[in-house]
Amino acid sequence: MSIKPVWIIAAPSGNQITKIDKKGKTVIPNGRFITPAGKNIITAPHPYGLTLSPNGNIAVTANSGTNPLSITIIRDIMSDNPVVQQVPPGPGTDKGVLASVFMGLAIAPDNKTVYVAGGQENKVYLFDLITGVKKDSIDCSFKAENLDYSHGYIGDMKLSKDGKRLYAVDQIGFRMVIMDTETKKLIHSVPVGRYPFGICLSPDEKKVYVANVGMFEYAYIKESNEKDAKVKSINYPAFAYGSEEMKTGIQNDTIAIKGLGELNAIDAFSIFAINIVDSLQPKVVAKIKTGNLVGALVEDIPAVGGSSPNSIVATDDYVFVSNGTNDNISVISIAKDSVVNTIPLKLDNRVKQFRGVIPFGLALSPNKKRLYVAESGINAVAVINVVDQKVLGHIPTAWFPSKIEVSQDGKKLIIANAKGFGSGPNGGSTFHLGTEGSYIGSLMKGTVQVVAIPKDEQLKSMTEQVVSNNFQFTNASSPIFKNRARNPMPLYPGEKESPIKHIVFISKENRTYDEIFGQIKKGDGDPTIARYGEKVSFSNRKKTEFISNTTVMPNHLALARQFSISDNFYVDADVSADGHRWLTNTYPNEWCETATAASYGGNRNFKEDSKAPGVFAMNGAAGAIYPEDYNEAGSMWDHLARHHIDFYNFGFSIMFEPALYKSEFKYTGIQQFVNFPMPEPLFKRTSKMYPTYNTAIPDQFRIDQFIKEFDEKWINGKEIMPPFSTVIIPNDHGAADLPEAGYPFRESYMADNDLAVGRIVEYLSHTPYWKNMLIVITEDDAQNGVDHIDAHRSILMLISPWVKRDYVGHQHYSFGSIFKSFWNILDMPYLNQYDAGATDLSDLFTTTPNYKPYYALEVDPKVFDPQKALDPFDEKFNWKALKDAPEIDDVEDMLRDSKEQDAYRLENREKEE
């Protein structure tokens, strides 16, 4: 039986909208505040790398947010008027200057040269720190009889004190490289663990320590074990995570699937110590596991994900390692090369059992008495006393602090914040379109924060600020909850039994609130950008076909007016890659965040002929979660299974990339050719006849398949509909005009999606389960649209007899709100800080149910002809359309679409004026 909690936790924003206030409190999409201390300097998007010049006057960030990839040089950083230089200067300029950049930076002792990690180019670039001009590069490729490092991905790096040796990690080459800066040559490649991410030198420069953030080395699925065997695709992921098949592989007469090995292999989630005293033969001398082992009991829950060690710093005695998934710091003895202590990072005892701090960058004070930790998940920097290894307090930062440096005098912190103050709006009648355009990836500017290091006694108030920025605590006995007594949404898990017994969670793709609901008068919308609303006009891309005065998505509008929506809901994600993590209640760790930003910026490393062991990582957009992503307590799938809640999945979270699109396979949309494992609970509870993301497959076909399987299982069969179901209906992502396939306009995909949503709600509302059902519909992200409040504002629709009719809620909601509500209804504990700390959806519910079912509306046949789209599925599939369908997030396609949205906005504004 659940125990009544003392505190009810919610997001501190209440009903405030997401907004940027650089001089006060900024409200970010998850309903938390940021109040960064000190001075804040704007950089290009996603500064995941940071370094400070030896003279302390210049800071450089490596920005991998979007094209063009860049570095930001900040001169006179300690002054009141620092000078900022972007290299290259801005969007669309000098794209060849930095073909790739990822995290790693180092500045020469003479303060004249900055070394920049070249990511997938397998190079290190040299830039003049005074002028910002690229002057040379060091090639890290190497090929010998039994070695092939011709393809690499250079990341984090460190420079020797004399500036003669440069040490860097090659993430996909699973090696540490050593370069001679005088000859500008690669001199050593030292094999390390999987996906090396962080690196540091011991103070005496006798050892290099490398943090391996990866879990597995993935491989092609082949026809046989023969050396020249061809790659073979299969119609479903090969095995379940943790299964014996996953460990040992599968081989028979027709297929060879390499096993991934043990969950706690030493090459995974570990620190490698490399002795570099012998300059001719550096070698690994220790392999150290940090954090919690996979499977170990952590607060009575077996750890699902690994520790994700990512950043490292060293004193004469200790190496400190941030374990991104465990929310702790491992302390390694340099003398023994073994873990001697673990420092937990707990912001507040009221949320101490929930992970989500995400420790990332580390820095030491010059006297080595203080350790500073970037706490990416709570927008703070932790201050640790090195002597007793205790946390002294927390300093508030901007959004997602990534890397930290300390000034030479030890008086100031320099903090790179990857998401800065957020995106702000990216459309609407009052939006000013700048040179960056309206695409979210270009608007998510980073910041460099310069803050005076507080005295220990000042940390108390700063810590209180960090707590109040992240959480609102209200005593469970407060009179403000008196109206919750009869609400179908329990106040907390186990507070009462909910009348809702069946939850259907539906995910769609990439839309904002304003695009669809901007005309709804009860909501805070901008009708000038409601391009998928009522009485809209548009053309195909060639401007040869035109539609006037039509309604693109009538079912969405009808459902909004018959049930409940929110006009203050935001996706936590920037793009689909992190969006599909969030949709499984998996908050993206530092590995996912950095890889996502880099890949969307053009740093995609997958090459079919590559010999690099880590070539299948960092491929950007995917509709699934990978073992490197797994949180300590796992995803919602693990959470449901642990608490014996049955569920079933239709196409949700099974789209691993890279993948193949095969003509003989229409029932799951894609085929796999890499041995990625699925979460174990999901593996056996997923439909084999429902296609995942692929815009060439009509959403109408998906709903046909859904109805067929639902009927077989839960209407005509002996089984009872499970308490929890997930469904993906993705074609509102949009794709190219394909009139021969029934999609003459981009809007045709929206109409397809709209009719599918109408049909599934009509079907479900006519089943015997309707009286106890809740349907929740949202998007994985909002990046392909524009919104006048914030680029993260998106769709949240609640459909049920138990929700208010024709209601628009104004409470601030996020993905965490959705999951918190699920767990309250299903009587399950919260999974992490993001759902535990969110505001639940109780405002949208009613105490008086209305069991009236829904009847789907037809879409305009001139926009979308459902039968024409479905006809090929009877006998002959339209494989040209399948081949031409875009990947889940084609950045160029989205940038082109954003320009079309900007044109639509300007045209409608002119009409209104």
Residue 394 pLDDT > 80: yes
Residue 659: pLDDT band with limits 50, 70, 90: confident
Residue 882: pLDDT band with limits 50, 70, 90: very low
Residue 278: pLDDT band with limits 50, 70, 90: confident
- What is the location of CATH 2.130.10.10 in the chain? 33-215+263-427+434-470
Q: What is the mean pLDDT of the chain?
A: 92
Residue 530 pLDDT > 70: yes
Strand segments (E) across 140-260: 154-159, 165-170, 175-180, 185-191, 196-201, 207-212, 239-240, 249-251, 256-258
Q: What are phi and psi of 869, to 5 degrees?
A: -70, -35
Integer-rounded Cα radius of gyration of the chain: 27
Q: Across residues 440-465, what is the average pLDDT? A: 95
**pTM, to two decimals:** 0.95
- What is the location of CATH 3.40.720 in the chain? 512-587+631-814+845-909
Residue 874: pLDDT band with limits 50, 70, 90: low
Confidence at residue 878, expressed as pLDDT on a 0 to 100 scale: 41
CA distance 211 to 323: 10
CA distance 88 to 360: 27
Q: Are 751 and 897 in contact (CB under 8 A)?
A: no
Confidence at residue 881, expressed as pLDDT on a 0 to 100 scale: 45
pLDDT in tens, 301-310: 999 999 999 9
Residue 873 pLDDT > 80: no
Residue 877 pLDDT > 50: no
pLDDT in tens, 359-390: 999 999 999 999 999 999 999 999 999 999 99
Residue 89 pLDDT > 70: yes
List CB contacts of 532: < 8 A, sequence separation 6 or more. Answer: 511, 515, 516, 552, 553, 556, 747, 750
Residue 312 pLDDT > 60: yes
∠ CA 174-180-186 to the nearest 5 degrees? 40
List b or e across 718-757, with b for residues whose CB sees 16 or more CB atoms inside 10 angstroms.
Answer: eeebbbbbbbbbbbbbbbbbbeebbbbbbbbbbbbbbbbb
Residue 876 pLDDT > 80: no
- CATH number of 512-587+631-814+845-909, picked from 3.40.720, 1.10.287, 1.10.3470, 3.40.50: 3.40.720
Q: Across residues 610-628, what is the average pLDDT? A: 85
Residue 575 pLDDT > 80: yes
Q: Are 385 and 398 in contact (CB under 8 A)?
A: no
CB neighbourhood size of 501 (10 A):
17
Q: Across residues 353-359, what is the average pLDDT? A: 97
Alpha-carbon dihedral angle through residues 485, 490, 493, 498, given to the nearest 10 degrees: 110
Confidence at residue 703, expressed as pLDDT on a 0 to 100 scale: 95
Cross-strand bridge partners of residue 34: 26
Confidence at residue 598, expressed as pLDDT on a 0 to 100 scale: 81
CA distance 393 to 383: 5
Q: How far is CA 249 from the centre of its chain?
A: 29
Q: Are 833 and 818 in contact (CB under 8 A)?
A: no
Which single residue is written with the structure tokens 């890499």?
Answer: 674
Element holding 530 (H helix, E strand)? none
CA distance 796 to 571: 9
| Crossing angle (nearest 10°) for helices 747-765 and 699-710 | 20
DSSP string, 477-499: T-GGGGGGTT-SS-SSTTSS--S
Pairing verdict, β 724-728 and 502-508: parallel
Q: Across residues 617-626, what is the average pLDDT? A: 78
Residue 227 pLDDT > 90: no
Sign of CA dihedral 821, 824, 827, 833: positive
CA distance 66 to 858: 39
Q: Are 797 and 563 in contact (CB under 8 A)?
A: yes
DSSP string, 341-403: EEEE--S-GGGTTS----EEEEEE-TTS-EEEEEETTTTEEEEEETTTTEEEEEEE-SEEEEE
CA distance 356 to 324: 9
CA distance 116 to 583: 34
CA distance 547 to 543: 11
Confidence at residue 875, expressed as pLDDT on a 0 to 100 scale: 38
CA distance 294 to 165: 36
Q: Across residues 459-483, what is the average pLDDT? A: 96
Q: Across residues 892-906, what is the average pLDDT? A: 60
Confidence at residue 236, expressed as pLDDT on a 0 to 100 scale: 92
Confidence at residue 892, expressed as pLDDT on a 0 to 100 scale: 61
Q: Across residues 14-31, what is the average pLDDT? A: 97
Region class of 549: left (phi > 0), else alpha (psi between -120 and 50), else beta: left
CB neighbourhood size of 557 (10 A):
21
CA distance 826 to 498: 8
Confidence at residue 254, expressed as pLDDT on a 0 to 100 scale: 93
CA distance 40 to 21: 12
Residue 335 pLDDT > 60: yes
Confidence at residue 69, expressed as pLDDT on a 0 to 100 scale: 79
List b or e across 571-609, with b for residues whose CB sees 16 or more CB atoms inside 10 angstroms.
Answer: bbbbbbbbbbbbbbbbbbbbbbbbbbbbbbbbbbbbeee
pLDDT in tens, 230-270: 999 999 999 999 999 999 999 999 999 999 999 999 999 99
Pairing verdict, β 7-10 and 472-475: antiparallel
Confidence at residue 5, expressed as pLDDT on a 0 to 100 scale: 79
Sign of CA dihedral 326, 598, 147, 231: positive
Mapping DSSP to helix (H, G, I), strand (E, B) and coil, where does residue 794 land? strand
Considering the domain 33-215+263-427+434-470, what is its CATH architecture? 7 Propeller (2.130)
Residue 293 pLDDT > 50: yes
Stretch among 89-93, 131-135, 433-437, 757-761 having the lowest mean pLDDT: 89-93
Pairing verdict, β 536-539 and 773-779: unpaired
CB neighbourhood size of 766 (10 A):
12
CB neighbourhood size of 385 (10 A):
14
**Could you tell me which of 271, 309, 96, 130 has the C-alpha nearest to residue 193?**
271
| Crossing angle (nearest 10°) for helices 747-765 and 554-562 | 40
Q: Which residue has the higher pLDDT, 92 or 569?
A: 569
List CB contacts of 65: < 8 A, sequence separation 6 or more. Answer: 44, 45, 46, 441, 442, 444, 446, 597, 600, 601
List CB contacts of 413: < 8 A, sequence separation 6 or more. Answer: 38, 363, 372, 381, 395, 404, 405, 406, 407, 449, 450, 451, 453
Mapping DSSP to helix (H, G, I), strand (E, B) and coil, where does residue 674 land? strand
Q: How far is CA 49 from the centre of its chain?
A: 18
Element holding 60 (H helix, E strand)? strand 59-63
Q: Across residues 395-399, what is the average pLDDT? A: 98
